[in-house]
Amino acid sequence: MSIPQSLLEQSIQINIQQALQEDIGDGDITAMLTPADEQATATIISREEMVLAGQPWVNALIQAYDNTVQITWLKQEGDVVAANEAFLKLAGSARSLLTVERPALNFIQTLSAVATKTASYVKQLDGLHTKLLDTRKTLPGLRIAQKYAVAVGGGQNHRLGLFDAFLIKENHIMAAGGIAQAITKAHEIAPGKPVEVEVETWDELNQALEAGADIVMLDNFSQQQMIDAVKHVAGRCKLEASGNITIENLREVATTGVDYISMGVLTKDVRAVDLSMRFNA
């Protein structure tokens, strides 16, 4: 799935307003140590190699705070930035540059971390048709931002939330009275929206297939079981592998022929990229 532009823009505005409010409150008292009329230029570098992501958030945040600040990107979204390489220059009020530094870098360090990790995982799938998906295991408040970063890193988005696709799991199946009943009800509730069912056994796979699921998630299936499932399904629905998948066995799982592999690690276990901003003499 792709993120609708309207939702992306709305999320950016919410994110940057929250970031500015939590950091600045009723004023940046430390920046006031600098003369109000002092102008400055600053360079932002990455201390480690990364895939750059987050430009729309940085642009919107800086413009919202002080639209006179000049923003010059030396790298484009999705570019690889080498260790100790400059990727952004800012020019304008020294006070403004000091104030926006941390909230701006917070977006870049987090979203670039997601894009960088995603790119390293996607690389494992070179030459195979399997696509890498994210999950809903995201940082609170940054769902759309992190899924955007996954796409920048070469991955694909699973459903954005609980509103744009069905993912029927064990508890849903029990509450609905069975797999077939759940799928039928899903088509009645929201015709045209994707219906995915998580299965743990061969029998559940057959039930989901016969009931017309669009996608079946094979939860913790063995390598051989996934190979057999791909042959059995024979393109009648899409197959997604999930559970106990790491970067070490990612390619092995993909060689089974599944259409998708979903991994929460892309967004929930990210380590921020080390960035630095320095005023120019």
Please say if 143 is a catalytic residue: no
- Whole-angstrom Cα distance, residue 50 to residue 46? 8
Tokens encoding 267? 């967004």
Catalytic residue among 89, 136, 137, 193: 137
The letter for the amino acid at 67 is N
Catalytic residue among 9, 77, 164, 219: 219
Please say if 198 is a catalytic residue: yes
Tokens encoding 81? 């930035």
Catalytic residue among 89, 123, 136, 169: 169
Tokens encoding 139? 């940082």
167's CB contacts (< 8 A; 6+ apart) are: 159, 196, 197, 198, 217
Catalytic residue among 89, 102, 185, 251: 102
145's CB contacts (< 8 A; 6+ apart) are: 11, 12, 15, 54, 57, 107, 110, 111
Closest C-alpha among 231, 227, 232 to residue 241: 227
Tokens encoding 107? 């977006």
Please say if 23 is a catalytic residue: no
Do residues 54 and 96 make contact, with C-beta atoms less than 8 angstroms apart? no
Please say if 137 is a catalytic residue: yes
Please say if 169 is a catalytic residue: yes
Catalytic residue among 101, 134, 196, 198: 198
Active site residues: 102, 137, 169, 198, 219
